């Protein structure tokens, strides 16, 4: 997450606040594979693993985090790996 160090810090703290210690340990090694591409001006979400064909399937869970901004921070976690980071209604990523 060298690309957006402030977001990485916020994500790590939010995960630790939810006792998601193993996921917090992944933050520094996440690589942006692709940005969402939906075109919505409030969305800055991104994939950290290749986008699935259809639904994620077994082993998928959502982790809703308390975003430190007036928006949403939701993770798609597949087999205990962060696959997608949903960042909504946040100032530009930094």
Task: Please give the distance of CA 74 from its chain centroid, rounded to a whole number.
Answer: 6
For the chain, the average pLDDT equals: 95
**With contact defined as beta carbons under 8 Å apart, do 77 and 63 qualify?**
yes
- The pLDDT of residue 81 is 97
State how far the Cα of 10 lies from the Cα of 91, in Å rounded to an integer: 13
Residue 65 has pLDDT above 80, yes or no: yes
Over residues 14-43, the pLDDT tens digits come to: 999 999 999 999 999 999 999 999 999 999
**With contact defined as beta carbons under 8 Å apart, do 44 and 57 qualify?**
no
pTM of the model: 0.93
**With contact defined as beta carbons under 8 Å apart, do 53 and 41 qualify?**
no
- The pLDDT of residue 21 is 98
State how far the Cα of 69 lies from the Cα of 91, in Å rounded to an integer: 8
pLDDT (mean) for 57-83 = 95
């Amino acid at each position: 997450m060298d690309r957006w160090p402030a977001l990485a810090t916020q994500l790590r703290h939010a995960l630790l606040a939810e006792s998601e210690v193993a996921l917090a340990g992944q933050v520094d090694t996440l690589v942006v594979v692709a940005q969402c591409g939906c075109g919505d001006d409030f969305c800055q979400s991104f994939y950290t693993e290749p986008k699935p064909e259809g639904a994620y399937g077994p082993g998928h869970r959502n982790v809703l985090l308390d975003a430190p901004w007036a928006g949403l921070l939701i993770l798609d976690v597949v087999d205990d790996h962060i696959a997608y980071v949903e960042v909504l209604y946040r100032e530009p990523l930094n």
